[in-house]
Amino acid sequence: MVRAIVGANWGDEGKGKITDMLAKESDIIVRFQGGSNAGHTIINNYGKFALHLLPSGVFYDHTTSIIGNGVALNIPYLINEIHSIVERGVPKPHILVSDRAQILMPYHVLFDTYEEARLAGKSFGSTKSGIAPFYSDKYAKIGIQVSELFDEEGLKEKIERICEIKNVLLEHLYHKPLLDPAELLETCHQYRDMVEPYVCDVSSYLYDQIKAGKTILLEGQLGSLKDPDHGIYPMVTSSSTLAAYGAIGAGIAPYEIKDIITVVKAYSSAVGAGAFVSEIFGEEADELRRRGGDGGEFGATTGRPRRMGWFDAVATRYGCRIQGATEVAFTVLDVLGYLKEIPVCTGYEIDGNVTKDFPTTAKLEKAKPVLTTLPGWNCDIRGIKKYEELPENCRNYIEFVEKEIGVRISMVSNGPGRDDIIMR
C-alpha cells in the first residue's frame, strides 16, 4: 500500500511530524522531489531534529529510507545528515539512493548564489541550495545521474560539456572564477565513493516491495502552492510538490498511490517572495510567529522568520484539490489557543468580485482577503487525545475548515510530539 504525505499550502505544514508518526507502521519511506532546501522538524524520543534530505522515517530501525530519482541529491550533505543522527543515538538507518537520482554539484550552489545577487531586490527568495540551477540542468540534459559516476569515460565527456556552457556564463554574466574540469572530475570520484554503498535500482526494488504487500510512504517537501505548474509561478520551487509526482519521483505506477494525506496547517505561514493574501503584519504577526510551530515560525534550513497569516480556505481548498487529497491532517491547532477570535480567509476579492476559486498569479497579486471571524477557544488543547474532549469552539473551527475545503479531516495534531495526535 502506498500513501503520500504532502502539503496543501506553502510548506512547513508539519509533514515531517505526520511522516515520523505514520512511519511507525510503515516499511519504506521515500523522498521523491526537492532537495536539502527545506527542512522538516521532528521531535521524538531521540530529541529534536531538523532533517533536510533524509526522509522523516529514519528514526525507526524497521524502516528503509529512500532517496528517489526525483530528488536533488547533495551527496556530502546526505552523508553528513546520516552521521549527525547516528551521533545522537539513532540506530544506523537503512538507506537506499536511486541510481537515477541526479547529483547536486557545488557549482549549482554557486550559480544559485550568483543569480540571487544579480537579481538583487527582484530575487525569488531562493535558499541558495542550488535547487533551481540543478533542475534547470536536469531538463537541459547536462545533469549527472548517480549511475554516470560509475562510467568514467562518459563522465569525463559530460564534465567537459558542462564546463563549456557554465564557463561562458561565469566569465561574461557573473564575472566569477571558472570551473576546472579536472577538479570537477575529482569531486565526482569522491561523490562516487561516498554514495556507492547506498546505490540501488529503486523503482525495481519498490515494484517488488509493493508486490510483497509492504507499506510505503511518499514524503513530499513544500506544498501545493510551491508547485511549478499549479503553484504561484514564478515564486515556486523547481520540482513538483504534488502527490502525482510521487509516482515519477519514486518510480512507481501512479495507481499504486491509494491514499493522499494532505497536511493542512491551522493558520498560514510562508517563506520567500510571492502573493500571500491572508498575510498579517506587525504585532499581530509577531505574536503568531513567536507562538507558532514548535518554538516559533522560523525556516528550518535558513532560520528566516516566516511570513504569517490567517487560515486561507481559498488557497487550501485549491491546494487539497490539486493534490487529490483523500484525507487531511490538520496541524498546529494548539497554537491558536491564545486567540479570543480567529479570522479565516473564506474568499478573495479581485477587481470588486468575490471568488472562492484560487486564481493565477497576476490576479492573485490583486486579491484582497474576505475574512470570516470565528470565536476562539481560549485555552490550551495540548494533551487532549479524544476529539469529543476538544472545546466546542475548537471543534467548530475544525468543522468549519473541513466544510470550506471539502475534504475529511481525519487527524488533528495538537502538539509537535509523535503522540500529540487526535484520530477522528
Cβ 337 to ligand GDP shortest distance, Å: 10
| Cβ atoms of residues 138 and 102 within 8 Å | yes
Whole-angstrom Cα distance, residue 65 to residue 116?
Answer: 33
Nine-digit cell at 27? Answer: 516499511
The reply to whether 40 belongs to the active site is: yes
* Contact between 300 and ligand GDP per CB under 6 A: yes
* Contact between 41 and ligand GDP per CB under 6 A: yes
* Contact between 43 and ligand GDP per CB under 6 A: yes
Longest dimension (CA), the chain: 68
Query: 107 or 318, CB closer to ligand GDP?
Result: 318
* Cell 516566516 belongs to residue: 306
Over the range 165-195, which residues count as b (16 or more CB within 10 Å of their CB) and which as e? ebbeebeeebeeeebebeebeebbeebbeeb
Indicate the DSSP class of residue 173. I
* Catalytic member of 12, 99, 112, 334: 12
Q: Which amino acid is at 159?
A: I
* Contact between 16 and ligand GDP per CB under 6 A: yes
Taking CB under 6 A as the rule, which mask of x and - marks residues 365-404 in contact with ligand GDP? ----------------------------------------
Cβ 265 to ligand GDP shortest distance, Å: 8
Total length of the chain: 424
Give the interface segment with ligand GDP, choosing from 4-12, 158-166, 273-281, 393-401 (CB under 6 A): 4-12
Which residues 6+ apart lie within 8 Å of 372 measured at CB? 343, 344, 346
Binder of ligand GDP out of 14, 68, 272, 319 (CB under 6 A): 14
Q: State the DSSP string of 39-75.
A: -EEEEETTEEEEESSS-TTTTSTT-EEEE-TTSEE-H
* Cell 522531489 belongs to residue: 33
- Torsion angle of alpha carbons 220, 225, 231, 235, nearest 10°? -100
Cβ 48 to ligand GDP shortest distance, Å: 8
The reply to whether 112 belongs to the active site is: no
Cβ 64 to ligand GDP shortest distance, Å: 20
Cβ 134 to ligand GDP shortest distance, Å: 19
* Contact between 34 and ligand GDP per CB under 6 A: no
Phi/psi-derived region of residue 332, left when phi > 0, alpha when psi is between -120 and 50, beta in every other case: left
* Contact between 415 and ligand GDP per CB under 6 A: yes
Question: 78-107: which residues touch ligand GDP (CB under 6 A)?
Answer: none
Query: 209 or 237, CB closer to ligand GDP?
Result: 237
Question: 327-356: which residues touch ligand GDP (CB under 6 A)?
Answer: 331-332, 334-335
Q: Which residues are 264's β-sheet partners?
A: 330
* Catalytic member of 40, 52, 108, 230: 40
Residue closest to 271 by CA, chosen among 9, 8, 10? 10
Cβ 127 to ligand GDP shortest distance, Å: 13
Q: How many residues bind ligand GDP (CB under 6 A)?
A: 25
Catalytic residue set: 12, 40
Where do contacts with ligand GDP occur on this chain (CB under 6 A)?
7, 11-17, 38-41, 43, 293-294, 300, 331-332, 334-335, 413-416, 420
